[in-house]
Structure 1
Amino acid sequence: MKIMVTGGAGYVGGTVSALLVARGHQVVVVDNLCHARRQQVPAGVEFVEADIADRPRIEGLFRQATAENVPFDGVLHFAALIEAGESMKYPEVYFRNNTASTLALLESILAAGPKRIVFSSTAAVYGEPEAVPIPEAAALRPTNTYGESKLLVEHMLGWFHRIHGLRSASLRYFNVAGAPEVGGKGTGNIVSGEAHEPESHLIPLVLDVALGRRSSIKIFGDDYPTHDGTCVRDYIHVGDLADAHLLALEALESDRAAEHRLIYNLGNGAGFTVKEVIDSVRRATGHPIPVELCPRRPGDPAFLIASSEKAIAELGWKPNYPQIDEIIRTAWIWHQKRHSK
């Protein structure tokens, strides 16, 4: 199959692109490189520097592929801004980039592209859940504009399926971490990993402390109703997430996808507090990891833990890295490699 991967120069998009290539697919990455690195695009992938809101450019890519008799079979859509805290300062930026730009992409798909799209959604669409683990049928009440910007896209996908027959899968995942191991789990053969610029995710920030690149790690609030007062999050290994995207793409060929859009939570089903993540990094690195206590950030729910039973049952998906220590082991290998250059 020929697949377009938007945002494929990013951490998750790049990992998924590499997996697609490894499984024999032809991949075209489209990325504007606003928060990504050209080096993240794996070998064997065609790269196009473009914005998904540029309809003439995107539709031109679709039409050119069709004219060459190698049309696109699907789109995997990762291109988005992802910082919840930033979204509460600049909501207009997130609605323009995440929501309006995706609308332009969907219009391009309707005009000239394949009628299948896997959307990188988020657990932030749930907001503060009434119960955990969170099922897909839980109430959708985002507590930040990042989550709202993604939820609006899900609503659009629902209407586009209903009116235009566009098949879609929305994958609501939680905190992505770790680095993919080439050749399988336990090999330690890692050539890429998480590298945001600027970095705002907890695990790489804590690993920066272990490497001496930061003096301490900030904990935003220790008065949440959790067993140690810090937020609980469900972490998913990036390799497990990549597997789920390919399974979702295959599922779009099913009768089930013809009848309704597909929605799946993805996580390991267990939550870890901020303090537990820091303790895991201490075990992996042998570093004491000093902490700095800070006030809560607006829009941060106390608990976010996924129920992935639906994805396991319908997609046949199963995470290979369910433990936080396993995820951090791979992240630590990558982090050391990256900063030793």
Structure 2
Amino acid sequence: MKTILVTGGAGYIGSHTVKVLLEKGYNVVVLDNLVTGHHGAVLTDSFYQGDISDAELITTIVEKHQIDAAIHFAARSLVGESMTRPDLYFHENTAKTGMFLSALIQNGVKKIVFSSTAAVYGLPETVPISEQTPKAPINPYGLSKWMIEQSFEWLEKAYGLQWIALRYFNAAGASLDHSIGEDHQPETHLIPLVLQTALGQREAIHVFGNDYNTPDGTCIRDYIHVLDLAEAHVLALQALNDGHPSRAFNVGTGQGYSVREVIETARRITGHPIPVVDAPRREGDPDSLVAQVDDIQQQLNWQPRYSDLDTIIQTAWNWHKNNPNGYSS
């Protein structure tokens, strides 16, 4: 039985991955500083509140629990914040991850699955986006993640680090049993904002631009259910154990939904009107961002099971309805 260290395991994607790991029989240790995570989302008794840059703590955890591999989620992830505080993102994401990796390697842990992002691609010229698409981040958040990815190749050459980076598109949804879900402060993601509007916590949902080159004029994005995303991490771990070569994979569905499609589906599922206010475009929003996912499907035998829009919004609605104030409910 493998023991996996999950950093950021009190966060949205991290907690769902911990849930899937536990269901599959792994031992799981969570490390989270709870700056953006929630203690209520921690699903294992082996929990440490601390920082990934604390080499002494990493050594203690690895030695005490005999850690076999790590899944690294811990990061700052607000694009807007990264634009106003780039130094914070390069410190918290890039520099601290370097310290974390050094501590792991020095303690003999040389397998890692990394939480990356489609933001490494910036504004791609062609869609769907393949892993070979040029990397041209347009914000410090995306760049902070791309810098980490680039460091992996050198750490592999020097120390034999085995790694898989997963470049997420738009994570959404919640656990099927409503036990954990999405609770960000502040919230910036479309689906929870739409559902907060359905609950009456917001007066309306703002649609930023209605003149994009898409069928209904609103942006199209590739939404991936958080449980499908969690499953991808487990398959990546298994691949590393089986000797799969290190590389990055996109994680999406290869299908996009527009902002208006999301809102209409939420209206149907919630039974609420969900008022809309048209607003100006946001700088840097491309018409469409959809993943090419042939590689992860073929090489890791991964297939999304819950990522149709109805299931995404139904599971998210169940969570928000039962937890209107998030984990503080």
Same fold (TM over 0.5): yes
Determine if contact 1:124/1:147 at 8 Å carries over to the other structure. Answer: yes
Please state how far the C-alpha of 1:161 moved relative to its aligned partner. Answer: 1.2
* Superposed displacement of residue 101, structure 1: 1.0
Report the identity percentage.
Answer: 48
> 1:211 matched to which residue of 2?
199
Taking the aligned partners of 1:329 and 1:90, their CA distance within structure 2 comes to 35
Q: What residue ranges of structure 2 are gaps of 5+ in the alignment?
A: none
CA offset at residue 197 of structure 1? 1.9
Quick one: which amino acid aligns to residue 265 of structure 2?
Answer: S
2:219 corresponds to: 231
**Partner of residue 50, structure 2:** 50
Query: Residues 238-277 of structure 1: matches in 2 within 5 Å?
Result: 238-257=226-245, 261-277=246-262
Matching residue of 1:336: 321
Q: Deviations over 1:265-306 (max 9, x none)?
A: 111111111121111111111222112222333333332101
Task: Give me the whole-angstrom Cα distance separating, in 2, the residues matched to 1:303 and 1:141.
Answer: 16
Does 1:324 find its partner at 2:309? Answer: yes
Q: Distance in 2 between matches of 1:113 and 1:228?
A: 53
2:123 aligned with 1:128, yes or no?
A: yes
The answer to whether the 8 Å contact 2:93/2:144 transfers is: yes
- Distance (whole Å) between structure 1 residues aligned to residue 4 and residue 297 of structure 2: 24
1:171 and 1:263 in contact (8 A); partners too: yes
1:262, 1:243 → 2: CA distance? 17
Note if contact 1:26-1:45 (Cα within 8 Å) is conserved in structure 2.
no
Report the 3-state secondary structure (helix = DSSP H, G, I; strand = E; otherwise coil) of the residue aligned with 2:323: helix
Preserved CA contact (<8 Å) 2:53 2:97: yes
Deviations 1:282-340 (A, max 9, x none): 11112221122223333333321011111110111110023212210111111111128
Contact 1:233 1:303 in 2 (8 A): yes
Pairing partner for 2:186 from 182, 194, 198: 198
Structure 2: which amino acid aligns with 1:34? V
TM-score by length of 2: 0.95
Unaligned runs of 5+ in 1: 66-70, 182-188
The residue number in structure 2 matching 1:186 is none
CA distance in 1, matches of 2:321, 2:174: 12
Q: Which amino acid aligns with 1:241?
A: L
Give the alignment's Cα RMSD to 1 decimal: 1.4
The alignment's TM-score, normalised by the length of structure 1, stands at: 0.92
CA distance in 1, matches of 2:221, 2:286: 9
Aligned residue in 1 for 2:277: 292
2: CA distance, partners of 1:225 / 1:23: 43
Aligned mate of 1:306, from 291, 298, 307: 291
Tell whether 2:81 aligns with 1:96: no
Is contact 2:228-2:307 (8 Å) kept?
Answer: no
The question of whether the paired residues in 2 share the 8 Å contact of 1:63 and 1:113 is answered with no
Contact 1:220 1:296 in 2 (8 A): yes
Count matched residues: 325
Partners of 2:171 and 2:225 within 8 A in 1: yes
